[in-house]
Amino acid sequence: MAVKAPWLGFLFLVSLWGLSSPALLLRRLREHIQKSQESSSLHLGIGLSQGPAAVPKQGWLEQPLDPFNASDRRTFLQRYWVNDQHRAGQDAPVFLHIGGEGSLGPGSVMAGHPAALAPALGALVISLEHRFYGLSMPAGGLDMAQLHYLSSRHALADVASALQALSRLLNVSSSSPWICFGGSYAGSLATWTRLKFPHLVFAAVASSAPLRAVVDFAAYNRVVARSLTRAAIGGSQQCLAAASAAFAEVERLLRSGPASQAVLREELGACGSLHLTEDQAELLGALQALVGGAVQYDGQAGAPLSVRQLCGLLLGNGGNGSHSTPYLGLRRAAQIVLRSMGQKCLSFSRAETVAQLRNTAPQVSGVGDRQWLYQTCTEFGFYVTCESPQCPFTQLPALPFQLELCEQVFGISAASVAQAVAQTNSYYGGQTPGASQVLFVNGDTDPWHVLSVTQNLGPSEPVLLIPSASHCLDMAPTRPSDSPSLCLGRQRIFQQLQVWLKEIKKS
């Protein structure tokens, strides 16, 4: 149970200076917020004592590298965490927090959902880190031969195997109901675990789960634009117009020659020359991700910028009394994000991005950029674009530019990506997965909610759409500043679990 991963000494450590591809920048932003929230939770009194009764407890499971080939004896060590301080007996419910495309720390069982629900329901709380992320890294690096064993289907097999192994290790009764929790991609995994293993998993809570894979995720920026106009979170039509004007000015400067490009490079934190169109697209993509990130993580502890703060900057309300322009506001926003995340650059050259993504050494720091890119190329797509006239930011980077990364890094063609996305939707059912006893939770300002389930599919597939809530906000630790709608949303999650658990007791 408490073995150590023997290969940890060989890991290649990567700085948080990061990459500029829009999706990767958003992943780094999410990791930054999660670490900030976990750190805050620990400071509020969650102890990490190392004694025999330490809570939380860290453990390792030996899992098959290829669960679909019984003759393959290779294994890897998968990390999990346990919080048993609220467990009400051997047949108490078990809350399994499924990990996604990043590291899972002790906060995964100590703060936020499902930990907040555990005391009232007497639940045992466990979290399971996703293969190939965090410290759950198979030996052998991240070359293509290894990445063949990285997929959502492998992850689901890990969950099923872990559930049975942990039942034995932790003396869980066969009558204990297991409920899966997950946010974002992990929310999809929670749904699919209930779909594929209904005999093992009793129910699931899927927060901000993008259940429909899509190559061209143009709807992302449409939601971002709409959210920038919402007065409830500090937006306005003027803010949206200012964002559009700021991007127009960046594009004008990019077209104005080497001198203007050098100024942009200095002011916006671009590392490398902006002479090449592909490097300009990297910068524009990073700026889109900056604005998108303010919307996606609006109001969350650890987020560098809220929508209200971003709009204040774009509209010249920076607080120094001097006249400002939307471009200067965007420049200040970029500086705030860089400083908050400890990053050196907002964007790199395209060549450097490709070179870093081709690095096959296992990475502890960072969210697992190469791994997640591989999953988007082979399963999900999710490429955020801004090509339609309704997108107010910029017409770059276009979809072909993003799909080229799959070809340049992995040799995977655009046609193969499209085929893989279609297969994913066929295998899991897209936005009509057909899994019973799954609660789909979303916030209506979150750009990802358009790929989730936001309308009831039936009495056993309820939905909860929280007004003015951002990505996975219901899973974050509670704060005094939480809105009434967020508090009510969390209460409804608790009530739904109560209903389901009462039903299983009756039966």
Residues 114, 83: Cα–Cα separation, whole Å: 11
Q: H helices within 64-125, ranges in order?
A: 107-110, 118-121
Residue 312 and residue 298 in contact, taking contact as beta carbons nearer than 8 Å? no
Is 446 in the active site? yes
Q: Cα dist. 408→250, 271, 349, 354, 377 in Å?
A: 27, 21, 14, 7, 11
**Adjacency order of strands within the sheet including 178-183:** 57-64, 75-83, 124-128, 94-98, 178-183, 203-207, 438-443, 463-466
Query: Which of the residues 216, 298, 369, 446 is marked catalytic?
Result: 446
Rg (CA), the chain: 22
Query: What does 225-248 look like in DSSP terms, one character per residue?
Result: HHHTT-GGGT--HHHHHHHHHHHH
Residues 286, 268: Cα–Cα separation, whole Å: 10
Q: Is 413 helix (H, G, I), strand (E, B) or coil?
A: coil
Q: Cα dist. 120→87, 172, 187, 439 in Å?
A: 10, 19, 23, 19
Residues 427, 470: Cα–Cα separation, whole Å: 28
Nearest to 477 by CA among 122, 115, 84: 115
Residues 366, 57: Cα–Cα separation, whole Å: 23
Query: Which of the residues 108, 151, 184, 188 is marked catalytic?
Result: 184
Nearest to 352 by CA among 285, 406, 271, 410: 271
Query: Which of the residues 108, 127, 471, 474 is marked catalytic?
Result: 471
Question: In degrees rounded to 5, what are phi and psi of residue 248?
Answer: -60, -40
The one-letter amino acid code at 154 reads H
Q: H helices within 44-151, ranges in order?
A: 107-110, 118-121, 144-147
Is 413 in the active site? no
Is 471 in the active site? yes
Residues 131, 103: Cα–Cα separation, whole Å: 10
User: Which tokens hold the place of 340?
Assistant: 């908050």
Residues 347, 20: Cα–Cα separation, whole Å: 4
**What angle separates helix 326-341 from helix 258-268, to the nearest 10 degrees?**
50
Q: Cα dist. 229→225, 246, 294, 307, 427 in Å?
A: 7, 16, 13, 10, 37
- Catalytic residue ranges: 184, 446, 471
